[in-house]
Structure 1
Amino acid sequence: MNVIEVKDLSVDYGPVRALDNINLQVEKGEFLGIIGPNGGGKTTLLKVLLGLIKPNHGEVEINFKKPIGYVPQFSHFDREFPISVLDVILLGALEGKIKILHKFKKDQVKKAEEIMKSLGILEFKDRQISQLSGGQLQKVLIARALMVEPEVMILDEPTASLDANSKTEIYNLLKLLNKDKTILVVSHDMGVINSYIDTVACLNRNLHYHGDDTKLDQNVLEKVYGCPVELVAHGPTPHRVLKIHEEDEK
Protein backbone atom coordinates (compact mmCIF):
# COMPACT_ATOMS: atom_id res chain seq x y z
CA MET A 1 0.00 0.00 0.00
CA ASN A 2 1.30 3.45 -0.96
CA VAL A 3 0.79 6.06 1.75
CA ILE A 4 2.03 8.85 -0.55
CA GLU A 5 1.77 9.08 -4.34
CA VAL A 6 3.30 11.98 -6.26
CA LYS A 7 2.15 12.18 -9.89
CA ASP A 8 3.66 14.38 -12.62
CA LEU A 9 4.54 17.07 -10.06
CA SER A 10 6.09 20.39 -11.12
CA VAL A 11 6.70 23.50 -9.01
CA ASP A 12 7.78 26.91 -10.31
CA TYR A 13 9.13 29.89 -8.42
CA GLY A 14 8.38 32.58 -10.95
CA PRO A 15 10.42 31.74 -14.07
CA VAL A 16 12.50 29.14 -12.21
CA ARG A 17 11.38 25.50 -12.21
CA ALA A 18 12.23 23.94 -8.84
CA LEU A 19 10.70 20.51 -9.48
CA ASP A 20 10.05 19.05 -12.92
CA ASN A 21 7.65 16.16 -13.57
CA ILE A 22 8.29 14.25 -10.32
CA ASN A 23 6.72 10.82 -9.86
CA LEU A 24 7.26 9.10 -6.52
CA GLN A 25 5.50 6.39 -4.51
CA VAL A 26 6.14 5.83 -0.80
CA GLU A 27 5.00 2.53 0.66
CA LYS A 28 3.64 2.09 4.16
CA GLY A 29 6.49 1.29 6.56
CA GLU A 30 9.18 2.55 4.18
CA PHE A 31 12.28 4.41 5.40
CA LEU A 32 13.03 6.71 2.45
CA GLY A 33 16.15 8.84 2.19
CA ILE A 34 16.02 11.82 -0.19
CA ILE A 35 19.41 13.08 -1.36
CA GLY A 36 20.59 15.74 -3.77
CA PRO A 37 22.52 19.02 -3.96
CA ASN A 38 21.53 22.30 -2.33
CA GLY A 39 18.87 23.99 -4.41
CA GLY A 40 17.84 20.67 -5.95
CA GLY A 41 14.25 20.89 -4.71
CA LYS A 42 14.33 18.56 -1.69
CA THR A 43 12.81 21.05 0.77
CA THR A 44 10.31 22.17 -1.89
CA LEU A 45 9.14 18.58 -2.24
CA LEU A 46 8.72 18.29 1.53
CA LYS A 47 6.68 21.51 1.59
CA VAL A 48 4.40 20.18 -1.14
CA LEU A 49 3.86 16.96 0.84
CA LEU A 50 3.07 19.04 3.93
CA GLY A 51 0.56 21.16 2.00
CA LEU A 52 2.60 24.34 2.43
CA ILE A 53 3.18 24.79 -1.31
CA LYS A 54 0.65 24.22 -4.09
CA PRO A 55 2.21 22.63 -7.18
CA ASN A 56 1.86 24.27 -10.59
CA HIS A 57 1.22 20.90 -12.19
CA GLY A 58 0.48 17.37 -11.02
CA GLU A 59 -0.94 16.10 -7.78
CA VAL A 60 -0.14 14.46 -4.46
CA GLU A 61 -2.30 11.71 -2.95
CA ILE A 62 -2.07 11.27 0.83
CA ASN A 63 -3.53 7.90 1.77
CA PHE A 64 -3.66 8.19 5.55
CA LYS A 65 -5.76 10.15 8.02
CA LYS A 66 -3.49 11.28 10.86
CA PRO A 67 -1.36 14.45 10.60
CA ILE A 68 2.22 14.19 9.34
CA GLY A 69 4.88 14.45 12.03
CA TYR A 70 7.28 17.12 10.72
CA VAL A 71 10.77 17.76 12.08
CA PRO A 72 12.41 20.88 10.57
CA GLN A 73 16.09 21.70 10.57
CA PHE A 74 16.87 22.95 14.07
CA SER A 75 19.29 25.50 12.54
CA HIS A 76 16.07 27.45 11.82
CA PHE A 77 15.00 27.14 15.46
CA ASP A 78 15.52 30.10 17.82
CA ARG A 79 17.35 28.39 20.66
CA GLU A 80 17.45 31.58 22.72
CA PHE A 81 13.66 31.78 22.98
CA PRO A 82 12.73 31.45 26.70
CA ILE A 83 10.81 28.19 26.59
CA SER A 84 11.27 24.88 28.35
CA VAL A 85 11.72 21.45 26.75
CA LEU A 86 8.29 20.34 27.98
CA ASP A 87 6.57 23.39 26.49
CA VAL A 88 8.29 22.91 23.12
CA ILE A 89 7.02 19.33 22.96
CA LEU A 90 3.50 20.35 24.04
CA LEU A 91 3.35 22.76 21.09
CA GLY A 92 2.98 19.67 18.95
CA ALA A 93 -0.47 19.13 20.50
CA LEU A 94 -1.82 22.53 19.44
CA GLU A 95 -4.59 22.63 16.88
CA GLY A 96 -5.50 25.75 14.93
CA LYS A 97 -4.70 29.20 16.29
CA ILE A 98 -2.84 29.64 19.58
CA LYS A 99 -4.91 31.33 22.27
CA ILE A 100 -3.38 33.76 24.74
CA LEU A 101 -2.54 32.05 28.07
CA HIS A 102 -3.35 28.65 26.57
CA LYS A 103 -3.26 25.89 29.17
CA PHE A 104 -2.54 22.32 28.17
CA LYS A 105 -4.64 19.48 29.52
CA LYS A 106 -3.26 17.03 32.06
CA ASP A 107 -3.49 14.14 29.62
CA GLN A 108 -1.46 16.13 27.07
CA VAL A 109 1.26 16.78 29.65
CA LYS A 110 1.25 13.09 30.60
CA LYS A 111 1.54 12.10 26.95
CA ALA A 112 4.47 14.49 26.43
CA GLU A 113 6.23 13.06 29.49
CA GLU A 114 5.71 9.50 28.24
CA ILE A 115 7.23 10.43 24.88
CA MET A 116 10.17 12.14 26.59
CA LYS A 117 10.75 9.05 28.70
CA SER A 118 10.73 6.80 25.64
CA LEU A 119 13.34 9.04 23.97
CA GLY A 120 15.51 9.31 27.09
CA ILE A 121 15.02 13.07 27.62
CA LEU A 122 12.55 13.20 30.51
CA GLU A 123 15.25 14.56 32.84
CA PHE A 124 15.51 17.67 30.65
CA LYS A 125 11.81 18.58 30.69
CA ASP A 126 12.24 21.80 32.71
CA ARG A 127 15.43 22.97 31.00
CA GLN A 128 15.49 26.00 28.74
CA ILE A 129 16.21 24.82 25.20
CA SER A 130 19.45 26.84 24.92
CA GLN A 131 20.93 24.51 27.57
CA LEU A 132 20.62 21.43 25.33
CA SER A 133 23.19 19.86 23.07
CA GLY A 134 22.42 19.53 19.37
CA GLY A 135 21.51 15.86 19.71
CA GLN A 136 19.25 16.53 22.70
CA LEU A 137 17.45 19.34 20.87
CA GLN A 138 16.90 17.09 17.87
CA LYS A 139 15.22 14.54 20.14
CA VAL A 140 13.00 17.32 21.51
CA LEU A 141 11.87 18.22 17.98
CA ILE A 142 11.20 14.54 17.22
CA ALA A 143 9.19 14.30 20.45
CA ARG A 144 7.15 17.35 19.41
CA ALA A 145 6.34 15.65 16.09
CA LEU A 146 5.29 12.48 17.92
CA MET A 147 2.60 14.37 19.86
CA VAL A 148 0.21 14.03 16.89
CA GLU A 149 0.71 10.22 16.85
CA PRO A 150 1.73 10.32 13.19
CA GLU A 151 1.68 7.42 10.78
CA VAL A 152 4.20 9.27 8.61
CA MET A 153 7.18 11.37 9.75
CA ILE A 154 9.09 13.80 7.55
CA LEU A 155 12.49 15.08 8.70
CA ASP A 156 14.57 17.77 7.01
CA GLU A 157 18.31 17.25 7.65
CA PRO A 158 17.80 15.81 11.16
CA THR A 159 21.54 15.39 11.78
CA ALA A 160 22.86 18.63 10.27
CA SER A 161 25.68 20.05 12.43
CA LEU A 162 25.65 17.05 14.79
CA ASP A 163 28.77 15.09 15.74
CA ALA A 164 29.21 11.48 14.63
CA ASN A 165 27.94 9.94 17.88
CA SER A 166 24.82 12.12 17.91
CA LYS A 167 24.11 11.26 14.26
CA THR A 168 24.29 7.57 15.06
CA GLU A 169 22.00 7.99 18.06
CA ILE A 170 19.38 9.93 16.08
CA TYR A 171 19.31 7.46 13.20
CA ASN A 172 19.14 4.49 15.55
CA LEU A 173 16.12 6.21 17.10
CA LEU A 174 14.51 6.77 13.69
CA LYS A 175 15.11 3.15 12.76
CA LEU A 176 13.30 2.14 15.95
CA LEU A 177 10.38 4.48 15.16
CA ASN A 178 10.28 3.01 11.66
CA LYS A 179 8.92 -0.23 13.12
CA ASP A 180 5.43 1.30 13.10
CA LYS A 181 5.85 4.54 11.13
CA THR A 182 6.72 5.50 7.58
CA ILE A 183 9.73 7.84 7.55
CA LEU A 184 11.00 10.26 4.91
CA VAL A 185 14.28 11.99 5.63
CA VAL A 186 16.29 14.54 3.65
CA SER A 187 20.01 14.12 4.21
CA HIS A 188 23.36 15.09 2.70
CA ASP A 189 25.10 12.33 4.63
CA MET A 190 25.76 9.51 2.17
CA GLY A 191 27.10 7.34 4.99
CA VAL A 192 23.74 7.56 6.74
CA ILE A 193 21.92 6.80 3.49
CA ASN A 194 23.91 3.60 3.05
CA SER A 195 23.65 2.52 6.69
CA TYR A 196 20.05 3.05 7.77
CA ILE A 197 17.44 3.65 5.08
CA ASP A 198 15.51 1.11 3.02
CA THR A 199 15.08 3.08 -0.19
CA VAL A 200 16.62 6.21 -1.67
CA ALA A 201 15.40 8.98 -3.98
CA CYS A 202 17.95 11.11 -5.82
CA LEU A 203 16.54 14.55 -6.54
CA ASN A 204 17.92 17.50 -8.48
CA ARG A 205 14.89 19.23 -10.01
CA ASN A 206 14.18 15.90 -11.70
CA LEU A 207 13.92 12.58 -9.88
CA HIS A 208 16.96 10.73 -11.22
CA TYR A 209 16.56 7.56 -9.20
CA HIS A 210 14.18 5.91 -6.75
CA GLY A 211 14.78 2.37 -5.62
CA ASP A 212 15.70 -0.03 -2.84
CA ASP A 213 19.32 -0.50 -3.91
CA THR A 214 21.24 1.84 -1.60
CA LYS A 215 24.54 0.89 -3.28
CA LEU A 216 24.06 3.73 -5.72
CA ASP A 217 25.73 3.67 -9.09
CA GLN A 218 28.49 6.25 -9.51
CA ASN A 219 26.94 7.48 -12.77
CA VAL A 220 23.60 8.16 -11.07
CA LEU A 221 25.25 10.19 -8.31
CA GLU A 222 27.31 12.24 -10.73
CA LYS A 223 24.18 12.94 -12.79
CA VAL A 224 22.36 14.11 -9.64
CA TYR A 225 25.15 16.29 -8.25
CA GLY A 226 26.59 17.42 -11.59
CA CYS A 227 30.15 16.62 -10.52
CA PRO A 228 32.33 13.66 -9.41
CA VAL A 229 31.17 12.24 -6.08
CA GLU A 230 33.29 10.48 -3.48
CA LEU A 231 31.44 7.55 -1.92
CA VAL A 232 32.00 6.47 1.66
CA ALA A 233 31.27 2.85 2.50
CA HIS A 234 30.36 1.96 6.09
CA GLY A 235 31.21 -1.33 7.70
CA PRO A 236 33.55 -2.80 10.34
CA THR A 237 36.27 -0.56 8.84
CA PRO A 238 34.91 2.67 7.33
CA HIS A 239 36.59 3.39 3.99
CA ARG A 240 36.22 5.51 0.88
CA VAL A 241 35.34 4.11 -2.50
CA LEU A 242 36.81 6.20 -5.31
CA LYS A 243 36.55 6.02 -9.06
CA ILE A 244 39.36 4.12 -10.79
CA HIS A 245 41.87 6.58 -12.21
CA GLU A 246 42.75 6.22 -15.87
CA GLU A 247 46.39 5.54 -15.05
CA ASP A 248 45.32 2.65 -12.77
CA GLU A 249 43.51 0.97 -15.65
CA LYS A 250 46.65 0.74 -17.79
Structure 2
Amino acid sequence: MTILTGSGVGIQFGERWLYQDVAFKLEKGRVLALIGDNGVGKTTLLRAILGQLELTAGELDWQIDAKNRMISYVPQYRPDMQAFPLKVTDFVSLSFDKGILPWLKAAEKERLQHVLADTHLTKIANARIDTASGGERQRAYLAQALVQNPNVLILDEATANLDNVAKYELMNVVRDYRDHHDLTTIMVSHDLDIIGKYADDYLLLTPNGSEFGPIDQLDMTKLKVGNQDHA
Protein backbone atom coordinates (compact mmCIF):
# COMPACT_ATOMS: atom_id res chain seq x y z
CA MET A 1 0.00 0.00 0.00
CA THR A 2 1.38 3.41 -1.01
CA ILE A 3 0.94 6.00 1.74
CA LEU A 4 2.80 8.92 0.14
CA THR A 5 3.46 9.76 -3.51
CA GLY A 6 5.78 12.53 -4.60
CA SER A 7 5.30 13.69 -8.17
CA GLY A 8 7.08 16.48 -10.02
CA VAL A 9 8.59 17.67 -6.74
CA GLY A 10 10.80 20.73 -7.01
CA ILE A 11 12.31 23.05 -4.41
CA GLN A 12 13.85 26.38 -5.29
CA PHE A 13 15.73 28.97 -3.24
CA GLY A 14 16.05 32.27 -5.04
CA GLU A 15 17.26 31.52 -8.54
CA ARG A 16 18.66 28.15 -7.54
CA TRP A 17 16.74 24.90 -7.89
CA LEU A 18 17.88 22.22 -5.48
CA TYR A 19 16.13 19.69 -7.70
CA GLN A 20 13.14 19.37 -10.01
CA ASP A 21 10.80 16.62 -11.21
CA VAL A 22 11.50 14.32 -8.25
CA ALA A 23 9.17 11.31 -8.13
CA PHE A 24 8.95 8.60 -5.48
CA LYS A 25 6.58 6.43 -3.48
CA LEU A 26 6.60 5.65 0.23
CA GLU A 27 5.20 2.18 0.78
CA LYS A 28 3.57 1.11 4.04
CA GLY A 29 5.84 -0.97 6.26
CA ARG A 30 8.97 -0.34 4.16
CA VAL A 31 12.15 1.65 4.74
CA LEU A 32 12.93 4.36 2.19
CA ALA A 33 16.55 5.54 2.16
CA LEU A 34 16.82 9.22 1.22
CA ILE A 35 20.34 9.61 -0.11
CA GLY A 36 22.61 11.98 -2.02
CA ASP A 37 25.69 14.16 -1.66
CA ASN A 38 26.03 16.94 0.89
CA GLY A 39 24.04 20.05 0.01
CA VAL A 40 21.69 18.34 -2.42
CA GLY A 41 18.65 19.02 -0.22
CA LYS A 42 17.73 15.87 1.65
CA THR A 43 16.87 17.71 4.87
CA THR A 44 14.88 20.25 2.86
CA LEU A 45 12.73 17.46 1.39
CA LEU A 46 12.21 16.09 4.90
CA ARG A 47 10.96 19.52 5.98
CA ALA A 48 8.45 19.46 3.12
CA ILE A 49 7.29 15.97 4.11
CA LEU A 50 6.90 17.18 7.70
CA GLY A 51 4.78 20.09 6.48
CA GLN A 52 7.34 22.70 7.52
CA LEU A 53 8.14 23.89 3.98
CA GLU A 54 6.06 24.38 0.86
CA LEU A 55 7.15 22.85 -2.41
CA THR A 56 8.02 25.17 -5.28
CA ALA A 57 6.65 22.66 -7.76
CA GLY A 58 4.88 19.32 -7.76
CA GLU A 59 2.96 17.71 -4.94
CA LEU A 60 3.14 15.31 -2.03
CA ASP A 61 -0.01 13.22 -2.03
CA TRP A 62 -0.72 11.52 1.31
CA GLN A 63 -3.06 8.55 1.50
CA ILE A 64 -3.29 9.07 5.28
CA ASP A 65 -5.39 12.10 6.18
CA ALA A 66 -3.83 14.75 8.40
CA LYS A 67 -5.99 13.77 11.39
CA ASN A 68 -4.68 10.20 11.41
CA ARG A 69 -1.13 10.96 10.29
CA MET A 70 1.59 10.84 12.95
CA ILE A 71 5.15 11.47 11.80
CA SER A 72 7.88 11.11 14.42
CA TYR A 73 11.42 12.39 13.97
CA VAL A 74 14.75 11.14 15.32
CA PRO A 75 17.66 13.58 14.80
CA GLN A 76 21.36 12.96 14.53
CA TYR A 77 23.07 11.94 17.78
CA ARG A 78 23.39 14.97 20.08
CA PRO A 79 26.19 15.04 22.66
CA ASP A 80 24.34 17.80 24.54
CA MET A 81 21.96 15.15 25.87
CA GLN A 82 24.58 14.68 28.57
CA ALA A 83 23.36 17.95 30.05
CA PHE A 84 19.93 16.52 30.86
CA PRO A 85 19.68 15.47 34.54
CA LEU A 86 16.54 13.43 33.83
CA LYS A 87 15.97 9.74 34.29
CA VAL A 88 15.74 7.85 31.01
CA THR A 89 12.04 7.10 31.60
CA ASP A 90 11.31 10.79 32.28
CA PHE A 91 13.23 11.86 29.17
CA VAL A 92 11.26 9.46 26.97
CA SER A 93 7.94 10.50 28.53
CA LEU A 94 8.53 14.13 27.49
CA SER A 95 6.76 13.17 24.24
CA PHE A 96 3.45 12.80 26.06
CA ASP A 97 1.18 15.82 26.17
CA LYS A 98 0.20 15.73 29.83
CA GLY A 99 -2.27 18.60 29.48
CA ILE A 100 -3.30 20.01 32.84
CA LEU A 101 -2.22 16.84 34.66
CA PRO A 102 1.44 16.56 35.71
CA TRP A 103 1.38 12.76 35.61
CA LEU A 104 0.85 10.06 33.02
CA LYS A 105 -2.45 8.30 32.53
CA ALA A 106 -2.59 4.51 32.93
CA ALA A 107 -2.60 3.95 29.17
CA GLU A 108 0.40 6.26 28.75
CA LYS A 109 2.34 4.42 31.47
CA GLU A 110 1.61 1.13 29.70
CA ARG A 111 2.71 2.59 26.37
CA LEU A 112 5.89 3.96 27.93
CA GLN A 113 6.86 0.60 29.44
CA HIS A 114 6.14 -1.14 26.14
CA VAL A 115 8.40 1.23 24.19
CA LEU A 116 11.18 1.10 26.79
CA ALA A 117 11.17 -2.67 26.39
CA ASP A 118 11.14 -2.46 22.58
CA THR A 119 14.15 -0.10 22.61
CA HIS A 120 16.07 -2.20 25.17
CA LEU A 121 16.04 0.55 27.78
CA THR A 122 14.10 -1.14 30.57
CA LYS A 123 17.20 -2.03 32.60
CA ILE A 124 18.40 1.60 32.68
CA ALA A 125 14.97 3.25 32.79
CA ASN A 126 15.62 4.76 36.23
CA ALA A 127 19.22 5.78 35.51
CA ARG A 128 20.06 9.36 34.61
CA ILE A 129 20.34 9.84 30.89
CA ASP A 130 23.58 11.79 31.25
CA THR A 131 25.20 8.59 32.58
CA ALA A 132 24.02 6.47 29.65
CA SER A 133 26.21 5.50 26.70
CA GLY A 134 25.92 7.25 23.35
CA GLY A 135 23.97 4.36 21.88
CA GLU A 136 21.60 4.26 24.85
CA ARG A 137 20.95 7.99 24.60
CA GLN A 138 20.20 7.71 20.90
CA ARG A 139 17.78 4.85 21.60
CA ALA A 140 16.14 7.14 24.14
CA TYR A 141 15.56 9.63 21.31
CA LEU A 142 14.11 6.78 19.27
CA ALA A 143 11.88 5.81 22.20
CA GLN A 144 10.66 9.43 22.42
CA ALA A 145 9.60 9.13 18.79
CA LEU A 146 8.02 5.68 19.09
CA VAL A 147 6.03 6.50 22.22
CA GLN A 148 3.91 8.79 20.00
CA ASN A 149 2.76 5.66 18.13
CA PRO A 150 3.72 7.03 14.69
CA ASN A 151 2.74 5.56 11.37
CA VAL A 152 5.80 7.22 9.76
CA LEU A 153 9.23 7.43 11.39
CA ILE A 154 11.96 9.74 10.08
CA LEU A 155 15.57 8.93 10.94
CA ASP A 156 17.67 11.97 10.01
CA GLU A 157 21.27 10.68 10.14
CA ALA A 158 20.26 8.95 13.38
CA THR A 159 23.25 6.58 13.32
CA ALA A 160 25.86 9.25 12.59
CA ASN A 161 28.64 9.49 15.21
CA LEU A 162 27.66 6.15 16.75
CA ASP A 163 30.14 3.27 16.88
CA ASN A 164 29.46 0.11 14.89
CA VAL A 165 27.87 -1.75 17.78
CA ALA A 166 25.55 1.13 18.71
CA LYS A 167 24.43 1.94 15.15
CA TYR A 168 23.47 -1.64 14.34
CA GLU A 169 21.69 -2.03 17.67
CA LEU A 170 19.66 1.11 16.93
CA MET A 171 18.72 -0.07 13.44
CA ASN A 172 17.89 -3.58 14.66
CA VAL A 173 15.46 -2.01 17.14
CA VAL A 174 13.87 -0.02 14.30
CA ARG A 175 13.58 -3.13 12.13
CA ASP A 176 12.12 -5.26 14.93
CA TYR A 177 9.61 -2.55 15.82
CA ARG A 178 8.65 -2.21 12.14
CA ASP A 179 8.08 -5.94 11.86
CA HIS A 180 5.70 -5.95 14.84
CA HIS A 181 3.93 -2.62 14.28
CA ASP A 182 3.91 -2.14 10.49
CA LEU A 183 5.90 1.08 10.82
CA THR A 184 6.95 2.99 7.70
CA THR A 185 10.36 4.65 7.80
CA ILE A 186 12.27 7.33 5.89
CA MET A 187 15.98 7.10 6.61
CA VAL A 188 18.58 9.72 5.68
CA SER A 189 22.08 8.23 5.78
CA HIS A 190 25.52 8.33 4.20
CA ASP A 191 26.42 4.96 5.72
CA LEU A 192 26.58 2.49 2.85
CA ASP A 193 26.44 -0.56 5.13
CA ILE A 194 23.35 0.73 6.95
CA ILE A 195 21.65 1.64 3.67
CA GLY A 196 22.35 -1.74 2.12
CA LYS A 197 21.33 -3.75 5.18
CA TYR A 198 18.18 -1.95 6.34
CA ALA A 199 16.59 -0.04 3.43
CA ASP A 200 13.96 -1.52 1.13
CA ASP A 201 13.78 1.33 -1.38
CA TYR A 202 15.88 4.39 -2.17
CA LEU A 203 15.45 7.93 -3.42
CA LEU A 204 18.71 9.37 -4.71
CA LEU A 205 18.72 13.16 -5.05
CA THR A 206 21.19 14.90 -7.34
CA PRO A 207 21.42 18.46 -8.71
CA ASN A 208 20.31 17.04 -12.06
CA GLY A 209 17.30 15.07 -10.90
CA SER A 210 16.54 11.96 -8.92
CA GLU A 211 16.46 8.19 -9.03
CA PHE A 212 13.98 5.96 -7.21
CA GLY A 213 13.71 2.20 -6.93
CA PRO A 214 14.23 -0.93 -4.81
CA ILE A 215 17.49 -0.96 -2.87
CA ASP A 216 18.86 -4.00 -4.70
CA GLN A 217 18.92 -1.90 -7.90
CA LEU A 218 21.00 0.92 -6.37
CA ASP A 219 24.50 1.41 -7.75
CA MET A 220 26.41 2.11 -4.53
CA THR A 221 29.28 3.67 -6.46
CA LYS A 222 27.05 6.71 -6.98
CA LEU A 223 27.19 7.45 -3.25
CA LYS A 224 29.84 9.17 -1.19
CA VAL A 225 30.44 8.98 2.54
CA GLY A 226 30.15 12.39 4.16
CA ASN A 227 28.54 14.50 6.81
CA GLN A 228 24.88 15.45 6.98
CA ASP A 229 23.86 18.37 4.82
CA HIS A 230 21.52 21.06 6.06
CA ALA A 231 19.99 22.12 2.76
Shift of 1:76: 7.7
Is there any run of 5+ residues in structure 2 with no aligned partner, and where?
A: 226-231
TM-score (norm. length: structure 1): 0.78
Residue 186 of structure 2 aligns with an amino acid whose one-letter code is L
Give SS of 1:135's match: helix
Q: Name the CA shift for 1:86/1:36 in 2 (closer, same or farther; >3 Å).
A: same
Residue 70 of structure 1 aligns with an amino acid whose one-letter code is Y
Shift of 1:177: 2.2
Find the aligned partners of 2:41 and 2:158 in 1 and give their Cα distance.
Answer: 17
Match of 1:209 in 2: 211
Contact 2:34–2:187 at 8 Å: present in 1 too? yes
Shift of 1:19: 3.6
Q: Aligned match of 2:186 in 184, 204, 211?
A: 184
Contact 2:23–2:212 at 8 Å: present in 1 too? no
- Aligned ranges 1:44-193 → 2 under 5 Å: 44-64=44-64, 65-75=68-78, 78-94=81-97, 102-179=102-179, 180-193=182-195
Contact 2:71–2:151 at 8 Å: present in 1 too? yes
Moved over 4 A (4+): none
Is there any run of 5+ residues in structure 1 with no aligned partner, and where?
A: 230-250
Q: Name the CA shift for 1:7/1:132 in 2 (closer, same or farther; >3 Å).
A: same
Find the aligned partners of 2:80 and 2:51 in 1 and give their Cα distance.
Answer: 21
Q: Deviations over 1:27-73 (max 9, x none)?
A: 11211111111111111111111111122222212222231121112
Find the aligned partners of 1:213 and 1:144 in 2 and give their Cα distance.
Answer: 28
Contact 2:77–2:161 at 8 Å: present in 1 too? no
Contact 1:8–1:58 at 8 Å: present in 2 too? yes
Give SS of 1:169's match: helix
Shift of 1:6: 1.2
Q: Deviations over 1:118-137 (max 9, x none)?
A: 22101222233221212111
TM-score (norm. length: structure 2): 0.84
Find the aligned partners of 1:127 and 1:67 in 2 and give their Cα distance.
Answer: 29
Find the aligned partners of 2:117 and 2:192 in 1 and give their Cα distance.
Answer: 30
Q: Percent identity?
A: 31
Residue 122 of structure 1 aligns with an amino acid whose one-letter code is T
Find the aligned partners of 1:126 and 1:105 in 2 and give their Cα distance.
Answer: 19
Q: Name the CA shift for 1:136/1:218 in 2 (closer, same or farther; >3 Å).
A: closer
Residue 85 of structure 2 aligns with an amino acid whose one-letter code is P
Matched, 1:198 2:209: no
Find the aligned partners of 2:195 and 2:220 in 1 and give their Cα distance.
Answer: 15
Shift of 1:213: 4.0
Find the aligned partners of 2:169 and 2:124 in 1 and give their Cα distance.
Answer: 17
Q: Could you say what the CA RMSD is over the residues aligned between the two structures, in angstroms?
A: 2.4
Find the aligned partners of 1:6 and 1:86 in 2 and give their Cα distance.
Answer: 37
Match of 2:8 in 1: 8
Shift of 1:102: 4.0
Matched, 1:39 2:39: yes
Find the aligned partners of 2:159 and 2:189 in 1 and give their Cα distance.
Answer: 8
Shift of 1:207: 4.4
